[in-house]
Chains A and B, each alone.
Chain A
Amino acid sequence: MKKFFIILFILSISLNLFAQEFKEEKMTQQTPPPGMRGVVPNLPDISVIGDFHYKLSTDKEDNTKDKLVIEEIETAFQGYLYPNIRADVFLAIHKHDEHVKPEISEAKVSFQKLIHNLSLEVGKIHVNFGKLNKIHQHHRNFYDQPLVLTNFFGEHGLVAEGFNFSYILPLPLFLQIDLGFWNIPLLHHDEESQHNEFSLVDKTYTNKIWMSVPIKTSELEIGLNSLLSNGPHYQEHKDEVKIFGVDLTFRGFFTRNRKFLFTTEVYKLLRDLEDSSKERFGYFVFTNYKFNKYDSVGLRYDDAEEVVEGLRTNSLSAIYTRSLTETTALRTQYTYFFDNPKDVHQLVFQLVFGIGPHSHLLE
């Protein structure tokens, strides 16, 4: 009887061990779920960015209020083509009024160094003009684009097809000169409304002098920008446009993940038509304080003239952002539009998320 129990005991332990070993082997051999089947070293970095918002507004004519709006879904493919040459392709599905349209948000090939400190970007690019234009909307500290950028450059800012040469001067301080040669197709999305809307078209030349001065642990950036382009009625009215701008950004860094940001961009637009000329002005000021790893508060003031009619709009926004990760954030933004043509109060809840490795330089 005793022997029987000993044999049974040994047998049960052996079976148990075998079962555990078998279980472990099965666990290591299991197939990962779709999309997570391991890292293939020669794949580019692939990522998806989503931008959703829900808007409450006192504006009765705003047809985007009181519903969830999927503002943008962006897919990015980023990687090297050759030593010191990389490609970044951002494909986006945007919402324009009631229509959802796919488009190439940005697709560029960057040559790190042609000669000396000269580099080149080729493709469809968020032009390095001002501070904010280069930054994709989902990486900005607010849900909407400042009014001056929308009025002067369009809904997505200054995005153009062409070449950008960029040269860093061999100085102790950062001083970069950018020269861009672009082509902007006539009104991207809605050709019917071309007579009411302003946009830059055809051949466009941009220039930016960008310098940066470290001040102890902080940094001050100054940009001087100029642009020469055509207005939407160039064929009929020799509609020529010049834009001059200054951008200024100050970043302060403190202990415990506290960061302070102040940025402003001021633009003047000169539009020469055959028999007349117009001047338009606009700016925004934004300040943001990140008081720990996760939370930040910001204030933005916008003042911009609309190019065609000269209608001036002012707004003040208060923004709270909770960052979950580097690419995922929850945001609440209250905006008050001053009485032009009427007072509007607007509250927006935004969710921006990112899956996968997604990068933009210097944001």
Chain B
Amino acid sequence: MKKLIPLFICFIFINSLYSKQLYVVTTTEDLKSITEFIGKQKVKVESLSYGWQDPHSVVALPSMIVKLSKADMLVKIGLDLDMWVDGLIFASRNKNITYGAVGYVDASVGITLLEVPTGKVDASMGDIHIYGNPHYCLDPENGKIIAKNILDGLCRLSPEDKEYFEKNYKEFVDELTKKIDYWKQRLKKYEWKNFVSYHKSFSYFAKRFNINIVATVEPKPGVPPSSAYLKTLVETIKKENVLCILHENFYPLKTSQSVAKHTNIKVVVLPTSVGGVKEVKDYFSLFDYIVTKIDETN
């Protein structure tokens, strides 16, 4: 019996270590990855969606309510990309993660947004995001802003660990800065070259790495192309000397392949989030993968 006492103490100790962890729920795996870099062992992070899912149409499930009900902090993309989480926040009964509460982090705060519609906005423009293009995670410079928002959230919840989180944040930003230079070097030969994407997911990526996205396979966001539109697209691709089609891996591949066949260019199937393919395990490897794939294909 006496032998069990050290074991029991050990259990209590480990348990107390774990209980100090903040439980963070994120809506996407990108946000999960960045939160893990900032929080390291002082956080336990779970994502509600998978990287291979279309972030526009994630189905709200009861199991997500359980995660949110226990969360100390919620990190969301915002800009109406993950609006499916809004009802879940209410259903979770967790007042700490409601809009404006201490554990609510909108990662889009401070991002310089692209494609913000002006004037009249309605469904004639497709499935348009009224606050601007929400795929900002695909600009690694934005990763720093996201990380800062997460850092602020973690410091609000656990001010005693502020130094620890800030140290991790600095390491993350330094590493990201180095990697951005490396990715820029690798993509230098594609600067100002023309590309086509299926959806407008790569706008931020293109802006950061100075590549031109001259058209999308979708005529308007969320609207599948008609054959008449595809004819125009084929002409554009030929005229603009497009290098390849950047195809988000959750969209139907057939149309992009057909366009590529008619124009003799290649389709690069790419993840748009961490977890989008099994090789992409964190925020850094997401860009490693995308850059390598573009480079390999061309």
Q: Which A positions have Cβ atoms within 8 angstroms of B?
A: 32-33, 36, 39, 83-84, 86, 110, 112-113, 117-119, 168, 171-174, 176, 210, 212-214, 217, 219, 221, 251, 253, 255-257, 259, 292-294, 324-326, 328, 355, 359-363
B252 touches A362 (CB 8 A): no
B86 touches A257 (CB 8 A): no
| CB of B69 within 8 Å of the partner chain | yes
Which residues from chain B contact A112 at a C-beta distance below 8 Å?
Answer: 90, 93, 95, 98
CA distance A39 to B117 in the complex (A): 13
Which residues from chain A contact B93 at a C-beta distance below 8 Å?
Answer: 112-113, 117-119, 168
Which residues from chain A contact B63 at a C-beta distance below 8 Å?
Answer: 173-174, 212-214, 219
Which residues from chain B contact A214 at a C-beta distance below 8 Å?
Answer: 61, 63
A221 touches B90 (CB 8 A): no
| CB of B66 within 8 Å of the partner chain | yes
Name the residue on A nearest B199 (C-beta): A293
| CB of B298 within 8 Å of the partner chain | no
In addition to A174-B65, A221-B62, A325-B127, 19 A-B residue pairs with Cβ atoms within 8 Å of each other are: A39-B130, A84-B90, A86-B90, A113-B93, A113-B95, A119-B91, A174-B62, A176-B62, A212-B61, A219-B62, A253-B53, A256-B250, A257-B250, A257-B251, A293-B57, A355-B123, A361-B60, A361-B88, A362-B62
Which residues from chain B contact A110 at a C-beta distance below 8 Å?
Answer: 90
What are 6 A-B interface contacts by the 8 Å CB criterion?
A117-B69, A118-B93, A173-B66, A221-B62, A292-B252, A362-B91
Which residues from chain B contact A213 at a C-beta distance below 8 Å?
Answer: 63
Top 3 A-B residue pairs of the complex, sorted by shortest distance between their CB atoms = A212-B62, A361-B87, A174-B62
Which residues from chain A contact B62 at a C-beta distance below 8 Å?
Answer: 174, 176, 210, 212, 219, 221, 362
CA distance A119 to B92 in the complex (A): 10
| CB of B178 within 8 Å of the partner chain | no
Min CB–CB distance B82 → chain A (angstroms):
13
Which residues from chain B contact A217 at a C-beta distance below 8 Å?
Answer: 50
| CB of B78 within 8 Å of the partner chain | no
Min CB–CB distance A299 → chain B (angstroms):
20
| Chain B interface, number of residues (Cβ within 8 angstroms) | 37
Which residues from chain A contact B87 at a C-beta distance below 8 Å?
Answer: 359-362
A255 touches B120 (CB 8 A): no
| CB of B224 within 8 Å of the partner chain | yes
Known: A174-B63, A212-B63. A257 touches B57 (CB 8 A): yes
Which residues from chain B contact A84 at a C-beta distance below 8 Å?
Answer: 90, 95, 98
Name the residue on B nearest A261 (C-beta): B59
A36 touches B52 (CB 8 A): no
Name the residue on B nearest A37 (C-beta): B120
CA distance A304 to B116 in the complex (A): 52
CA distance A117 to B93 in the complex (A): 6
User: Which residue of the partner chain, among A219, A259, A293, contacts B252 with CB atoms under 8 Å?
Assistant: A293
CA distance A219 to B63 in the complex (A): 8
Which residues from chain A contact B6 at a C-beta distance below 8 Å?
Answer: none
Min CB–CB distance A294 → chain B (angstroms):
6
Which residues from chain A contact B54 at a C-beta distance below 8 Å?
Answer: 257, 293
Within 8 A of A (CB), among B19-64: 50, 52-54, 57, 59-63
Which residues from chain B contact A255 at a C-beta distance below 8 Å?
Answer: 52, 249-250
Known: A119-B93, A173-B66, A256-B253. A359 touches B86 (CB 8 A): yes
| CB of B181 within 8 Å of the partner chain | no
User: Which residue of the partner chain, among B52, B98, B250, contacts A83 with CB atoms under 8 Å?
Assistant: B98
CA distance A329 to B7 in the complex (A): 60
Known: A86-B90, A168-B65, A293-B54. A32 touches B251 (CB 8 A): no
CA distance A355 to B59 in the complex (A): 20
CA distance A325 to B128 in the complex (A): 11
B90 touches A293 (CB 8 A): no
Min CB–CB distance B134 → chain A (angstroms):
15
B120 touches A259 (CB 8 A): no
B119 touches A32 (CB 8 A): yes
Which residues from chain A contact B91 at a C-beta distance below 8 Å?
Answer: 119, 361-362
Min CB–CB distance A242 → chain B (angstroms):
26
Min CB–CB distance B65 → chain A (angstroms):
6
Known: A174-B62, A259-B59. A36 touches B120 (CB 8 A): yes
Min CB–CB distance B289 → chain A (angstroms):
16
| CB of B222 within 8 Å of the partner chain | yes
B127 touches A294 (CB 8 A): no
User: Which residue of the partner chain, among B90, B95, B98, contacts A361 with CB atoms under 8 Å?
Assistant: B90
Name the residue on B nearest A214 (C-beta): B63
Min CB–CB distance A46 → chain B (angstroms):
13
Residue from A171, A210, A256 whose CB has the most chain B CB atoms within 10 Å: A256
